[in-house]
A and B are shown apart, each in its own frame.
Chain A
């Protein structure tokens, strides 16, 4: 494997910074996030959270708070955290399958949540 002087990496990083600033600023100028509803406006019934918490919200519709907000996330995080050790047991290919299953579950729950409510960012 060839070794390259660090200048090459720095150049790539500089380019990445430029692209990131340009794209994120474009996003910022084009779309603004909601501010939500003022506390002085009439009551809104809906409880919302950042969209990334959608999966937990979705589970909260169907299961008890204990399962959806404590049990499920903790099991999930522990599985992720112990992945290197799990990998020693189940092997490389199965680890990839496992992560695919985990990500797939999260994605499905997220999509389910998005269809369930009018999602506001």
Chain B
């Protein structure tokens, strides 16, 4: 006896193509995620350059339009990034109190950037400074260094 099919050819083909479509859709999720997450159009330069060194023993000086503050002591030039180590707000320097204060949650750091009170867990980050041959400074925002590091000469 000839068996009668429950599904027609048309239905089987359509189901198969739907499986294909769903697979293609699932494969497109990866590229879609990559496309949306790409930040290649917002490259921020990790290098800040400053024309001349700060004067010896001056208070912390801000490099305009950045969070970088420079100071020079007997051992050399150092650079501090004024980002609170709690959640990243920009901290303000108060020269009269010789303190850094964070407006977001009240963290207070001392002159060197070490946390005195408030929720901040670590000292304010210091970053590497290089002195070029013509005397200008290159601050590498991506290279964190210890508090006692000073600028290195290059070139």
Contact = CB atoms under 8 A, between A and B. Distances in A.
Contacts of A18: 17, 21
Interface in B9-33: 10, 14, 17-18, 21
Dominant secondary structure of chain A at its interface with chain B? helix
A18 B15 CA distance: 13
Dominant secondary structure of chain B at its interface with chain A? helix
Give the size range of B's interface with the partner: under 10
Contacts of B21: 18
Interface in B108-124: none
Give the size range of A's interface with the partner: under 10
A95 B14 CA distance: 41
Interface in A1-53: 11, 14-15, 18
A14 B14 CA distance: 9
A18 B10 CA distance: 15
A11 B10 contact: yes
A11 B17 CA distance: 11
A109 to B, nearest CB: 40
Interface string B26-60: 00000000000000000000000000000000000
9 contacts: A11-B10, A11-B14, A14-B14, A14-B17, A14-B18, A15-B14, A15-B17, A18-B17, A18-B21
Interface of A: 11, 14-15, 18
Given A11-B10, A11-B14, A18-B21, 6 more contacts: A14-B14, A14-B17, A14-B18, A15-B14, A15-B17, A18-B17
Interface of B: 10, 14, 17-18, 21
